[in-house]
Amino acid sequence: MTLPVRIAQLSCGPEYSGIQHEIDTAARQVGGEVFYPDVALKDILRDFNMFGLDVRSPDLKLAIARAMALVDGRVEADAVFIATCFRCAEAAIVRNELRRYINEHSKLPVVSYSFTERTTSGTLLTRMEALTTIARRRALLARETQQGITLGLDSGSATTKAVVMKDNKIIGTGWQPTTEVLKSAQDVIAHALSEAGITRDEVQAVGTTGYGRFLVGKEIHADLIQEELTVNSKGAVYLANRQHGPATVIDIGGMDNKAITVMDGIPGVFTMGGICAGASGRFLEMTAKRLGVDITELGPLSMKGFGGRVPMNSYCIVFGTQSLVNALAAGSTREDVAAAACHSVAEQVFEQQLQEVDIKEPVIMVGGTSLIEGLVFAMGELLQTKIVVPPYSQYIGAVGSALLVSGFIKDD
Amino acid sequence: MTEYTPTQTDTVTKYVVVESFEVTPADLALRAYEISQGAMIKETCFGIVINGKKEGVDRIITELRKIDPDHIFVKDRGFPPGDARRCRANLGGARPGYNGMEHEMAIIPYVSHGLEKLKNHDEKTVPPPKNPLEHPLLDVYKLKKLIDAQEP
Amino acid sequence: MVKVFIYPATSLILSDMVERFGHTPLSSAIAIRERIQTAGLESPPLQITPEEPKKGLKWAAVEVPAGVRGRMSLYGPMIGECEAAIIINDADLAFGCMGCARTNELIKFLIHQKEIPKLELFYPKNEEEGVKFVAAIKRFLTELGASK
């Protein structure tokens, strides 16, 4: 039996919010074990003063001391989970500073999360899985080239994607909106195989990722079923040819968004989520529909407009759509509305997620939304950097899966 | 979510902590075992934990306090002794309450000293401690004196 | 016997003093024990379920963090029930149940609002202060007993 991955918890509030059990459950489901780094009072007093962030809450002082014990190597761990109450300003400051501190001073993968009493183990599962993967599968994540013939499938919340790769090249792709999870998967696989001119039997290994990864993975006998945080970051640096050094990967998905800082292809800090669909690809889809254009035309349209001319609040998808309708009714041009929608999504991701990771260049945007050039442009403006969109960026999860699973090809 | 069925209901658990040059946690545990009458006794680094029916636990504590009244301190505990949910071995580290106890253990010798002194002193004759709610203003005449005392 | 709320509610010293001088301390442990010994849905370690922060809405609005509301579901009823209180004002190192500064501010405020006998103290920092500390508590608790 493999030993559980030791996840050090630095937190304030989960026991009193009734969700500690959810954290423990999520960790256990992916072979992890949550523990509290042991520190003595003298350590707390010394380390809290040394860290220099003068917070009032004793449990945050304790979290600071525990973080320092991890960085100093006084307590051993494989990964770190930082969790504090949503809407607590004091804790948010500590959460951010500890995440940054651990990332800068150790090789421990960190995920930070702000919870409410409604947080469930399901919400935490992908994050925990990524933590345990990074800790346990460093060798797998170090893979830089694809070998043999492999199939990668990304069963996402909005779309299902498949790629077939052979000898480090993409030779077939398949894409369609997710309807019935299994049927969509079978269809895109069939498309990718036919484009590649390869039969299912010739495929040497299969990997799945995305929301439907477990269901589809079981059905198609996948050799590797892996959450999308590690897979996408691996796929991103591979496709962008930035496998060495730092990078930041941004994936604005159909249901949630991911921001991941990567070092040598291995995720260091990542966040996942989105307060509302107003900050997701779904909102852009709705915008395109309202403007009467195909989603693929939204990008070029928005590049002709100026978002600043349209007041837009898409923190909520309902209010966002309302602003959009109001703007059109008030005579705004479709171009300006399209640009405003792109800017709004980019701004929300910037405000809500990119604050939880330290942006390191190059910034690589992936996922279907990275093809909407207005969104990429808006993100580049906000981050004041040129964003890299690699080829096949919409197939990122499938490519990452196909790449990683080539490590599972059995020698005959 | 699964159903939760509590164990050891209708019992109380108390910490009995000793901070003394003369009595050790082991001494305390030994005496507690002698008079336990079925109550659960567990030795810890600060003293012992007792679990049982309230009357029984109170009786044991009354006896134990007699060993060294000014150096033995008692408080309630939510969990029964050895409960896996609070156990250091399971959590990987001490529960947060432990650090709080560590903090008070450094203060307890002053409290013990106070208890000893008051055995022979009427507490009414002791001046009150500083009141945290009082923020005395600097007397204006005193301020004037301070200003005048400064070299020009 | 008077029910005395102690602050910090995890204090060994205050819990002991109140009981030693004949009254009932209301502490965190009592609230936790109540949950540990009550059947319901499993929510280890403290048996505080996600329902508790909702109960906490009685003392703090929904925009207040869940951890504050969950803790208030422990302390709110006790503050309602207490007949006197002893408050240590420099209790900056009480963790866990007293680990959130925002909750602690609210607890102190609610106690100060209540018209009950209160004793405000600092932790003693030397033997002389130890004597004053114990004497003040003893006087306070003796007078409580006499007035009852």
B positions 34-93 inside 8 Å of A (CB) = 88, 91-93
Domain total for chain C? 1
- Report pLDDT digits (tens) over C16-44: 999 999 999 999 999 999 999 999 999 99
Cis peptide before C8 (omega within 30 of 0): yes
Identify the CATH number of the domain in which residue A42 sits: 3.40.50.11900
Residue A192 lies in a domain: yes
B140 min Cα distance to partner chain A (Å): 34
Which residues from B are below 8 Å from C136, CB to CB? 123, 126, 128-129
A positions 14-73 inside 8 Å of B (CB) = 35-41, 44, 58-59, 62, 66
Residue A236 lies in a domain: no
Helix axes A228-239, A121-136, angle to 10 degrees: 50
- From the list A19, A60, A86, the residue facing C65 with the nearest CB is A86
3-state secondary structure of A185: helix
Cis peptide before A362 (omega within 30 of 0): yes
The dihedral formed by the CA atoms of A192, A196, A199 and A202, expressed in degrees to the nearest 10: -110
A125 and A224 belong to one structural domain: no
Asked if B130 is an interface residue toward chain C (Cβ–Cβ < 8 A), one would say yes
CB contact under 8 A, C135 and B118: yes
Residue B22 lies in a domain: yes
Q: Do A67 and A101 touch, CB atoms closer than 8 A? A: yes
CB contact under 8 A, A58 and C70: no
A38 min Cα distance to partner chain B (Å): 4
CB contact under 8 A, B100 and C31: no
> How many other CB atoms are there within 10 angstroms of residue C87's CB atom?
20
Percentage with pLDDT > 70 across chain B: 99
- From the list A36, A41, A58, the residue facing B93 with the nearest CB is A36
- From the list A13, A45, A56, the residue facing C66 with the nearest CB is A13
Helix (H) or strand (E) holding A99: helix A89-105
Which residues from A are below 8 Å from B103, CB to CB? 41
A117 min Cα distance to partner chain C (Å): 5
Asked if B75 is an interface residue toward chain C (Cβ–Cβ < 8 A), one would say yes
Task: State the pLDDT at residue A275.
Answer: 55
Residue ending a domain, among A79, A105, A136, is: A136
Interface test with C, best of A10, A11, A17, A49 (most C CBs within 10 A): A17
Tell me which residue of A298, A351, A291, A354 sits closest to A327, measured CA to CA: A291
Measure the CA–CA gap between A12 and B104, rounded to whole angstroms.
21
Q: Do A375 and A119 touch, CB atoms closer than 8 A? A: no
Asked if B107 is an interface residue toward chain A (Cβ–Cβ < 8 A), one would say no
3-state secondary structure of A40: coil
Has residue C126 got a pLDDT over 70?
Answer: yes
Tell me which residue of C36, C32, C100 sits closest to A61, measured CA to CA: C100
Neighbours of chain A (3+ CB pairs under 8 A): B, C
CB contact under 8 A, C46 and A62: no
A75 and A174 belong to one structural domain: no
> How many other CB atoms are there within 10 angstroms of residue A365's CB atom?
26
Q: Do B124 and C136 touch, CB atoms closer than 8 A? A: no
Residue B26 lies in a domain: yes
Residue B147 lies in a domain: no
Cis peptide before C45 (omega within 30 of 0): yes
Domain total for chain B? 1
Has residue C46 got a pLDDT over 70?
Answer: yes
* DSSP type of residue A401: H
Residue A49 lies in a domain: yes
- Give the residue numbers spanning the domain of A216: 149-229+396-408
Asked if B99 is an interface residue toward chain C (Cβ–Cβ < 8 A), one would say yes
Residue A283 lies in a domain: yes
3-state secondary structure of B52: strand
A256 and A350 belong to one structural domain: yes
Identify the CATH number of the domain in which residue B113 sits: 3.30.70
B129 min Cα distance to partner chain C (Å): 5
Task: State the pLDDT at residue A56.
Answer: 97
Measure the CA–CA gap between C142 and A382, rounded to whole angstroms.
66
CB contact under 8 A, B4 and C47: yes
Task: State the pLDDT at residue A314.
Answer: 58
A249 and A381 belong to one structural domain: yes
Residue in C with minimal Cα distance to A58: C99
Task: State the pLDDT at residue A214.
Answer: 95
Tell me which residue of B137, B93, C34, B126 sits closest to A34, measured CA to CA: B93
Number of residues in chain A: 412
Q: Which two tokens stand for residue A106?
A: 């150790």
Measure the CA–CA gap between A243 and B35, rounded to whole angstroms.
69
A257 and A382 belong to one structural domain: yes
A222 phi, psi to nearest 5 deg: -70, 145
A311 and A359 belong to one structural domain: yes
A215 and A274 belong to one structural domain: no
A251 and A376 belong to one structural domain: yes
Residue in C with minimal Cα distance to A13: C67
Task: State the pLDDT at residue B83.
Answer: 87
Task: State the pLDDT at residue C148.
Answer: 65
- For chain A, 412 residues long, give each residue's pLDDT as a single digit of tens: 578 999 999 999 999 999 999 999 999 999 999 999 999 999 999 999 999 999 999 999 999 999 999 999 999 999 999 999 999 999 999 999 999 999 999 999 999 899 999 999 988 998 899 899 888 888 888 899 999 999 999 999 889 999 999 999 999 999 999 999 999 999 999 999 999 999 999 999 999 999 999 999 999 999 999 999 899 999 999 999 999 999 999 999 877 788 999 999 889 888 887 556 667 888 888 889 989 999 889 999 999 998 888 887 656 777 788 888 888 888 899 999 999 999 989 988 888 888 778 889 999 999 989 999 999 999 999 999 999 999 999 999 999 999 999 999 976 5
Residue ending a domain, among A136, A160, A178, is: A136
**Residues with Cβ < 8 Å from A188, sequence gap 6 or more?**
A153, A160, A161, A162, A174, A175, A176
CB contact under 8 A, C64 and A87: yes
A278 and A158 belong to one structural domain: no
Task: State the pLDDT at residue A96.
Answer: 92
Interface test with B, best of C6, C10, C12 (most B CBs within 10 A): C12
Task: State the pLDDT at residue C99.
Answer: 97
Residue in C with minimal Cα distance to B103: C93
Task: State the pLDDT at residue A411.
Answer: 67
Extract the runs of DSSP E, i.e. beta strands, from A334-396: 363-366, 387-388
A192 and A214 belong to one structural domain: yes
- Give A299: exposed, middle or buried? Use CB within 10 Å, 0-12, 13-18, 19+: buried
- Report pLDDT digits (tens) over B31-51: 999 999 999 999 988 899 999
Residue in B with minimal Cα distance to A41: B99
- ipTM for the predicted complex comes to 0.97
Task: State the pLDDT at residue B136.
Answer: 80
Residue in B with minimal Cα distance to C12: B75
- Report pLDDT digits (tens) over C59-81: 999 999 999 999 999 999 999 99
Residue A59 lies in a domain: yes
CB contact under 8 A, C53 and A20: no
A positions 7-26 inside 8 Å of C (CB) = 12-21, 24
Identify the CATH number of the domain in which residue A255 sits: 3.30.420.40
Measure the CA–CA gap between A134 and A152, rounded to whole angstroms.
19
Tell me which residue of A223, A210, A204 sits closest to A165, measured CA to CA: A204
- Give C38: exposed, middle or buried? Use CB within 10 Å, 0-12, 13-18, 19+: exposed
A376 and A255 belong to one structural domain: yes
A222 and A179 belong to one structural domain: yes
